[in-house]
Amino acid sequence: MKSQIVTFLIKCPDQKGLVAKFTSFFYEEGFNILSCQQYVNGIADRYYMRIRLDAEDVGISKKDLEDKFSNLAEVLECTWSVHYDSEKQNVAILVSHTSHCLYDLLERQREGAIDCNISLIISNHNKLKPIADMFGVPYYHLPITKETKAEQEAQVIQLLSEHNVDLIVMARYMQILSENFINQYPQRIINIHHSFLPAFQGADPYRRAYERGVKLIGATAHYTTVDLDEGPIIEQDVERITHESTPKTLKQIGADVERLVLAKAVKCHLQHQIIVSDNRAIVFPESGE
Amino acid sequence: MKSQIVTFLIKCPDQKGLVAKFTSFFYEEGFNILSCQQYVNGIADRYYMRIRLDAEDVGISKKDLEDKFSNLAEVLECTWSVHYDSEKQNVAILVSHTSHCLYDLLERQREGAIDCNISLIISNHNKLKPIADMFGVPYYHLPITKETKAEQEAQVIQLLSEHNVDLIVMARYMQILSENFINQYPQRIINIHHSFLPAFQGADPYRRAYERGVKLIGATAHYTTVDLDEGPIIEQDVERITHESTPKTLKQIGADVERLVLAKAVKCHLQHQIIVSDNRAIVFPESGE
Amino acid sequence: MKSQIVTFLIKCPDQKGLVAKFTSFFYEEGFNILSCQQYVNGIADRYYMRIRLDAEDVGISKKDLEDKFSNLAEVLECTWSVHYDSEKQNVAILVSHTSHCLYDLLERQREGAIDCNISLIISNHNKLKPIADMFGVPYYHLPITKETKAEQEAQVIQLLSEHNVDLIVMARYMQILSENFINQYPQRIINIHHSFLPAFQGADPYRRAYERGVKLIGATAHYTTVDLDEGPIIEQDVERITHESTPKTLKQIGADVERLVLAKAVKCHLQHQIIVSDNRAIVFPESGE
Amino acid sequence: MKSQIVTFLIKCPDQKGLVAKFTSFFYEEGFNILSCQQYVNGIADRYYMRIRLDAEDVGISKKDLEDKFSNLAEVLECTWSVHYDSEKQNVAILVSHTSHCLYDLLERQREGAIDCNISLIISNHNKLKPIADMFGVPYYHLPITKETKAEQEAQVIQLLSEHNVDLIVMARYMQILSENFINQYPQRIINIHHSFLPAFQGADPYRRAYERGVKLIGATAHYTTVDLDEGPIIEQDVERITHESTPKTLKQIGADVERLVLAKAVKCHLQHQIIVSDNRAIVFPESGE
């Protein structure tokens, strides 16, 4: 039963005996360990763990588990979080004009390929409303002008708050979020950039890729931070192109890379596979339990 | 110091508490756990672990460690092996006419990209001797006729035994080994097949790929078993082709896939990343410790 | 203007001067040659050409152009066809239970990524009707039992005929078409097979891929012929998997390969990039004019 | 017979009738056209052709062919070059410390995978001399200090001139060539850069890729121009990495990308598949004649 699965994400300074200590803790609490993934960064002397537990037959409440683990965490100087699969996450999608990523996410959610609620779609344009309607998801059209930018953002934040949104996906939302906004959702905003970052950071990457004559184009999904296009990279991919490719065909080829890269990143986030450390995203592979 | 690193490969029936038990064992013996990779096969209810230990400051001898671990292993019904990085493995390369995989392995070994001794090269032809000479590796030319096949194989086995060979690499050796031979080296013979198995099993895969009009060709490195081209797959890759590709150009394109796939498989084996279970090779990724 | 573009697909025995003769013919008729792609099969001594013409300012009617070209074609023993971009093709999609390819094609058509009419969807189940409704495409539920198979197929053919269907896409339609059906639509039925053919031909390829322990899985789009899974391959691709992948996750990973491979194949067909020769599909790359 | 094959590379302003005019010219001279590849850049209104001719039974001398074609070329405002496969090209390899690209090129040339003479190897270090000796290629050790840089370069140019070098391959030569040097060999110097340009232009790309946390690393082969790492890109490829990859393992993974990318670029150049236009390299695929 999925609802009994618990995931811990843990980071702490490296030291002898960590895996034994953590796994013994959960074993002694009666959990069956479904998978236990680790990463030791030998350069920074940091330790990272993602551990998946089957809570069947384990009586302990979430509150008690958190309290107990806190004691161990304090001793080992851990930063950590715990997630119950039974608590479905609420997702907001932000879009502008471009539809392919929106379609893709809506369809995956509807067909069960990603497990979440898509609570609402917010856009600075009205163009994609028919797609929201097709899938029966509330669509909020909040236009932006230079004068209303701050006000519009406040409305967005208000909506996110009302819907208890856990994750914000910028599915080709062509607006720069304010520092204030970003700081309210640390590592909870995912953006798709239509280039293989750090190449072609900034605007109009396909045009620039054409002009530079690259032989591969790509897309990058990353957490949004206050440094534009500089946030921790979650997923990237590329596709081969040729000299025949025009800026227009690059856009079409790139669209398929974008949608897959974004979908993978969103899935990794929703499945609690990611720990961010400095500006790097440690993305544990999906465990096959 | 590399010479102090110890790798355990373990498989056993799945049960609660395994990771805690194994890691506690090594922790209590004083080892620093560099990485601990697991795989639980929920379909077969089997558990697999690769654990890398730093033995610095650990006084225990290999013999004593084996004895102590045996006790735990018996209780948990484990099949296991232990490997010290300080014990360099001896490799024999078997070839016929084709040079690219041979070059590649010799060069990687010489430049330190794979860590082993290449003790000897054995061929049923004399053609590639100049390459062996360039790299200063003994080359044994043991021709085969229908009548002498058994006798030749006996000579090969004799040579492997004299050189204490740990791993045999069939780098495009176009002979079928006898059941007797294969059984003496279980999971210690790696073959490269020039197709994306199980497609085009058997002879002349590039010609058949051309005729079938596939759009990708590949190569497969696998452990040699008595079922021809059916052994556990270690590594595979493909390359895109077009209708312009002729059987001759397929061979050239395929050569680069073959050499990389074989080199990766050999490296995974030498680094003790592989556990074979039934006919599947569990290949743990290289840990970044 | 797109409506003025004409594509010729030509095949004939190879001989000196073909490209000069063909291009001179079109040049003299007043066409601007947008792109001219050739392939010479030196093994079979066959010549293939795809030529794209801009008919702006060219007065000649389709009928007259065909008549004139026929004369040249007869001399050079050509098989050929001519296609006007202005004549939009009608597509029928056949499905059973699985939705991802259906979504993908509907969305691409709706957003203009593939240029055709999707005239109808036919299924032996009622399950995917809501998707058809979302996109406003007629959905025909024609169930099959052993007894009614022939009758159901007659109904399908009747519907295809009524809708003047040019191309039939089997988007995971889990039924085998009769020889009679297939022969009515030569090189006009595209099927997606969820394996990297010719590996895992037949049923349940993901289960068999899991059991064989392959390291990559794939999908293949091909023209349907009377030899099951043996038709000319249009497009293939693969995705890397690991030992962690279960038959269930293989299905999810494979779904993304299937949808992209099928979409590319359909696009190549609709853009007249394909000439079939024996059992091989010559797929000219999209020209960047 | 390979020695009778002639390749023309042509670029000119686009206009109606070009392909007919060029192909008719060669047809009338008695050549058999083996392949004829074109590219029309609709944005810049430029036309590019690579045409391969079989000169068997054609009496015309190179001089006469050039003269005759010049007349046509003048009318159509072409820039062009002609290449006889019978004239083997001389290649110089420049290296510093790193061996993998050097090995790779030497081996491919020796085994016939690339068709050229490797006339000499020049290095600012003595380290790789043993490899040159293994392959029997002259090795010139020309050390550089700040004071002797200009002088050393003069010696390099002198050597290149003495050996009638057609192509210079910078196989990880960690020196910046002077503008004077580069201008003497326009589009005849190929460099391999160990990143997916334009990402991580400049020094130490693997370290920076690690710090940025990218999920793919790559390599780029390009013509050397006076703008460092900005020359026309011939070939690129990438390999997937994970958070486990350290700067050291990135180097190892990258090495295999570098060697393949460089080998492909060198092969394309030697086979006259490349036309440079502004800062873009038009690379025609290998034709399968």
The SS3 call for residue A235 is strand
Residue B149 lies in a domain: yes
CATH number at residue D112: 3.40.50.170
With an 8 Å Cβ cutoff, the interface of chain B facing chain A consists of 16-20, 23-24, 26-27, 32-36, 38-42, 240, 288-289
Q: Residues B211-235: what's their mean pLDDT?
A: 95
* pLDDT value of position B289: 67
For tokens 């055709």, the residue is: C116
Same-domain pairing of A69 and A199: no
Alpha carbon of C141 to those of C122, C173, C180, D57: distances in Å? 6, 13, 21, 65
Q: Which of D19, D32, D34 sits opposite C36 (nearest CB)?
A: D19
Q: Which of D134, D245, D252 sits opposite B113 (nearest CB)?
A: D252
* pLDDT-based confidence at residue B147 (cuts at 50, 70, 90): very high
Residue A289 lies in a domain: no
At residue D215, φ and ψ (nearest 5 deg) are -105, -5
Catalytic residue among C54, C85, C115, C229: C229
Question: Is B233 close to C244, i.e. CB distance below 8 A?
Answer: no
At residue A111, φ and ψ (nearest 5 deg) are -90, 0
* pLDDT-based confidence at residue A56 (cuts at 50, 70, 90): confident
Same-domain pairing of A217 and A126: yes
Which H or E element spans position D219? strand D216-223
Same-domain pairing of B147 and B254: yes
Residue A160 lies in a domain: yes
Whether C10 has a pLDDT exceeding 90, the answer reads yes
Domain count for chain A: 2
Same-domain pairing of A190 and A72: no
Q: Which of A27, A38, A42 sits opposite B17 (nearest CB)?
A: A27
Please give the residue of chain A at the shortest CA–CA distance from B37.
A37
Please give the residue of chain A at the shortest CA–CA distance from B45.
A289
Domain boundary among D49, D84, D119: D84
* pLDDT value of position C2: 46
CB < 8 Å to B113, chain D = 252, 255
Taking 70 as the pLDDT cut, the residues of chain D under it are 1-3, 289
Whether B38 has a pLDDT exceeding 50, the answer reads yes
Distance between CA atoms of residues D129 and B147, nearest Å: 46
The ipTM of this complex is 0.93
Distance between CA atoms of residues B139 and B150, nearest Å: 20
For tokens 């000299």, the residue is: A243
CB < 8 Å to B255, chain D = 113
Residue A185 lies in a domain: yes
CB < 8 Å to D255, chain B = 113
Summarize pLDDT for A137-157 with one digit per residue, the tens: 999 999 999 899 999 999 999
* pLDDT value of position D287: 82
Q: Which amino acid is at C27?
A: Y
Same-domain pairing of A36 and A112: no
Whether C220 has a pLDDT exceeding 80, the answer reads yes
* pLDDT value of position A228: 85
Residue B96 lies in a domain: yes
* pLDDT value of position D2: 46
Domain boundary among A84, A117, A147: A84
Q: What is the mean pLDDT of chain A?
A: 95
Summarize pLDDT for C22-66 with one digit per residue, the tens: 999 999 999 999 999 999 998 899 999 999 999 988 889 999 999
Burial class from Cβ neighbours inside 10 Å (0-12, 13-18, 19+) for residue D253 reads middle
Same-domain pairing of B9 and B99: no
C-alpha atoms less than 13 angstroms from C-alpha of C156 in its C-beta half-sphere: 30
Question: Is A34 close to B40, i.e. CB distance below 8 A?
Answer: yes
With contact defined as beta carbons under 8 Å apart, do A234 and A281 qualify? yes
Mutation test of the interface with chain A: which of D11, D40, D216, choosing the one with the most A Cβ atoms within 10 A?
Answer: D216
Catalytic residue among A115, A229, A237, A256: A229
Same-domain pairing of C35 and C102: no
For tokens 């059973």, the residue is: C96
What's the whole-model pTM score?
0.96
CATH number at residue C9: 3.30.70.260
Same-domain pairing of B64 and B144: no
Structure letter (DSSP) for residue A205: H
Residue A8 lies in a domain: yes
Q: Residues C262-278: what's their mean pLDDT?
A: 97
Summarize pLDDT for A219-274 with one digit per residue, the tens: 999 999 999 899 999 999 999 999 999 999 999 999 999 999 999 999 999 999 99
Residue C288 lies in a domain: no
Please give the residue of chain A at the shortest CA–CA distance from C259.
A256
Tell which residue, B193, B110, B124, B116, has the closest CA to residue B156.
Answer: B124
Tell which residue, D188, D175, D169, D181, has the closest CA to residue D118.
Answer: D169
Q: Which of D214, D236, D246 sits opposite A236 (nearest CB)?
A: D214
Same-domain pairing of B79 and B106: no
Q: Is B229 considered catalytic here? A: yes
Question: Is B242 close to C283, i.e. CB distance below 8 A?
Answer: yes
User: Vertex B62, ends B57 and B65: CA angle to 5°?
Assistant: 85
CB < 8 Å to A238, chain D = 216, 238
* pLDDT value of position A143: 96
Give A30 to chain B, closest Cα distance, Å. Answer: 9
Question: Is D246 close to B100, i.e. CB distance below 8 A?
Answer: no
* pLDDT value of position D173: 96
Same-domain pairing of A115 and A70: no
Question: How far apart, in Å, do the first and last CA atoms of chain D sit?
Answer: 12
Same-domain pairing of C136 and C66: no
Question: Is D218 close to A214, i.e. CB distance below 8 A?
Answer: no
Same-domain pairing of A41 and A96: no
Question: Is B288 close to D100, i.e. CB distance below 8 A?
Answer: no
Whether A57 has a pLDDT exceeding 50, the answer reads yes
Whether A287 has a pLDDT exceeding 90, the answer reads no
Task: Spell D115-140 as b/e; 16+ CB within 10 A means b.
Answer: ebbbbbbbbbeeebeebbebbebebe
Tell which residue, A145, B19, B244, has the closest CA to residue D288.
Answer: B244
Q: Which of D216, D218, D282 sits opposite A243 (nearest CB)?
A: D282
Range of the structural domain that residue D42 is part of:
2-84
Domain boundary among C31, C56, C84: C84
Residue A165 lies in a domain: yes
Whether C250 has a pLDDT exceeding 60, the answer reads yes
Which H or E element spans position C36? strand C32-41
Give C270 to chain B, closest Cα distance, Å. Answer: 19
